[in-house]
Amino acid sequence: MKRWLNPRSALGITLITAALVALPFVVAMGGQAWVRIVNFAILYIFLALGLNIVVGFAGLLDLGYIAFYAVGAYTWALLASPHFGLHWPIWAILPIGAGLACVAGVLLGSPTLKLRGDYLAIVTLGFGEIVRIFMNNLNAPVNITNGPQGITLIDPVAFGAFKFSGNSQIFGFTISGPQKYYFLLVALAVIVVIINLRLQNSRIGRAWQAIREDEIAAKAVGINTRNIKLLAFAMGASFGGVAGGIFAAMQGFVSPESFSLIESVMILAMVVLGGMGHIPGVILGAVLLTFLPEVLRYGVGPLQMAVFGKMLVDPESLRMLVFGLALVLVMRFKPAGLWPSPERKRELTGGA
């Protein structure tokens, strides 16, 4: 066993912790809106690392990941809002959401995981769309999802009487709702990073890598490839479910619009652009792709006004354009991602 608490890494961990604690208070100087953006970045890190298990570790291209996020979000929304008049506590809803997402993952995965990569991508995409279509339409004849209007007034995360919405006083400090969520999200993200790390260097993680490398040889050494792939799929789905629940609680509102295909593509892009299977790379990808639209919104809009005197291109379509270009260019010039793991880089640039 390596002891990692030598003085240098201890200093590093202290500095990172201090920075993470200070961050929400520093960005709050620019307004709570920025804290919310940071929160979304962390939520996306969480989601991207969940998908990383499926795509990065097991090598399964999942284009319907957002469906599991949606299952988690709607589970929370239905069990903790006035829509059905239910207000269940977090320790009940979050596991239910994760469990339902996991079941959905197994249901989708068990018949389809034998398909080869690009077919699997299309089937999962189709599944994501099916889930969204149901959410859009399950408001009649029995109103389950409230259709395109979505569900509002969703309960925030709460532990007993301590609510994560609104301001609280802690040690004489005033801490805002988004700042509280920030700490919750950081805690979750740290957990998912640790889980990713531990899985990667485990018996199961090696089996995933073996399947990615050579599925026939993996079978020949006794790996039940179908089950091991299904395991990755189910785990990714459960993480999606948890993230969805937190999303619903944080926003207080869900509607099918939040779960469109482009969101799936966006999360996949975080994993792929950052560096499949490489945890720091995936984090980088998530952060970049969350902040890019904000930069474009605050930077390019005013810039156009200043230079041309009017808005030529609206920032939203510019953002998507840049995003599409980034996908194409990275695949062309850095197919292993911006910050690949050393071994994945060899894998993807070494041909075959």
Partner 1 sequence: MDIFLQQIINGLVQGSIYALVALGYTMVYGIMGLINFAHGEVVMIGTLVTITVAGSLIKVGMPVALAGLAGLTASVLVCMALGWGLERIAYRPLRNAPRLTPLITAIGMSIILQNVAMIVWGRNYLTFPHLLPKIDFEIAGANFTAIQLLIVLVSGMTMAGLAFLVYRTKLGMAMRATAQNPQVAGLMGVNSNRVISAAFVIGSALAALAGVMVGTYYEIAHYQMGFMLGLKAFTAAVLGGIGNLAGAMAGGILLGIIEALGAGYIGDLTGGFLGSHYQDIFAFVVLIVVLMFRPSGLFGEKTGDRA
Partner 2 sequence: MGALLEARAVAKHFGGVKALRDVSLSIREGEIYGLIGPNGAGKTTFFNCLTGLYVPDGGGFEFSGAPLQANAPHQAAERGIARTFQNIRLFANMTALENVMVGRHVRTRAGVLGAMLQTRATREEEAAIRQRAEALLHYVRIEDKADDLAKNLSYGDQRRLEIARALATEPRLLCLDEPAAGMNATETEELRELIEGIRKDGTTILLIEHDVKLVMGLCDRVAVLDYGALVIEDVPAVVQKDQRVIEAYLGA
From the list partner 1, partner 2, none, partner contacted by residue 262 (C-beta under 5 to 8 A by kind): partner 1
Asked if residue 305 binds partner 1 (CB under 8 A), the reply is no
Tell me 257's DSSP state.
Answer: G
CB-based contacts of 253, cutoff 8 Å, min separation 6: 150, 151, 152, 153, 154
Angle at 334 between CA 331 and CA 338, to 5 degrees: 110
Asked if residue 217 binds partner 2 (CB under 8 A), the reply is yes
Q: Which is nearer to partner 1, 118 or 220 (CB)?
A: 118
Asked if residue 276 binds partner 2 (CB under 8 A), the reply is no
Asked if residue 205 binds partner 2 (CB under 8 A), the reply is yes
Q: Which is nearer to partner 2, 85 or 222 (CB)?
A: 222
User: At closest approach, how far in Å is the CB of 213 from partner 1?
Assistant: 12
From the list partner 1, partner 2, none, partner contacted by residue 203 (C-beta under 5 to 8 A by kind): partner 2
Asked if residue 231 binds partner 2 (CB under 8 A), the reply is yes
In the block, residue with structure tokens 């062309």: 332
Write phi, then psi, for 46 (nearest 5 degrees).
-60, -50
What is the CB neighbour count within 10 angstroms for residue 288?
17
From the list partner 1, partner 2, none, partner contacted by residue 137 (C-beta under 5 to 8 A by kind): partner 1
Name residue 215's amino acid: E
Longest Cα–Cα distance of the chain, Å, equals 67
Write phi, then psi, for 254 (nearest 5 degrees).
-130, 145
End-to-end CA distance of the chain: 36
- Cβ atoms of 236 and 68 closer than 8 Å: yes
Instruction: Find the binding residues for partner 1 in span 330-349 (CB under 8 A).
Output: 331-332, 335, 348
Question: Of the candidates 202, 257, 313, 314, which one interacts with partner 2 according to CB under 8 A?
Answer: 202
Distance CA 179, CA 24 (A): 6
From the list partner 1, partner 2, none, partner contacted by residue 224 (C-beta under 5 to 8 A by kind): partner 2
Q: CA–CA distance from 258 to each of 71, 139, 224, 338 (Å)?
A: 12, 17, 36, 27
Give the interface size with partner 1 as a residue count (CB under 8 A): 45
Asked if residue 118 binds partner 1 (CB under 8 A), the reply is yes
Distance CA 41, CA 291 (A): 8
Question: Of the candidates 41, 102, 250, 265, which one interacts with partner 1 according to CB under 8 A?
Answer: 265
From the list partner 2, partner 1, none, partner contacted by residue 111 (C-beta under 5 to 8 A by kind): partner 1
Write phi, then psi, for 53 (nearest 5 degrees).
-60, -40
Q: Is cis: bond before 141, omega within 30 of 0?
A: yes
Q: Which is nearer to partner 2, 214 or 257 (CB)?
A: 214
Tokens at 209, concatenated: 């890598």
Asked if residue 328 binds partner 1 (CB under 8 A), the reply is yes
Question: Of the candidates 20, 34, 95, 112, which one interacts with partner 1 according to CB under 8 A?
Answer: 112
Question: Of the candidates 225, 251, 255, 258, which one interacts with partner 2 according to CB under 8 A?
Answer: 225
What is the CB neighbour count within 10 angstroms for residue 64?
28
User: At closest approach, how far in Å is the CB of 332 from partner 2?
Assistant: 22
Binding track over 181-200 against partner 2, x by CB under 8 A: --------------x--xx-
Burial (CB count <10 Å: 0-12, 13-18, 19+), residue 35: buried
Tokens at 281, concatenated: 């790379």
Asked if residue 99 binds partner 1 (CB under 8 A), the reply is no
User: At closest approach, how far in Å is the CB of 239 from partner 2?
Assistant: 12
- Taking CB under 8 A as the binding criterion, the range among 84-92, 136-144, 154-162, 237-245 that sits at the site for partner 1 is 136-144
Binding track over 307-346 against partner 2, x by CB under 8 A: ------------------------------------xx-x
What is the CB neighbour count within 10 angstroms for residue 129?
18
Distance CA 112, CA 262 (A): 22
Residue numbers at the binding site for partner 2 (CB under 8 A): 195, 198-199, 202-207, 209-210, 213-214, 216-225, 231, 235, 343-344, 346-347, 350
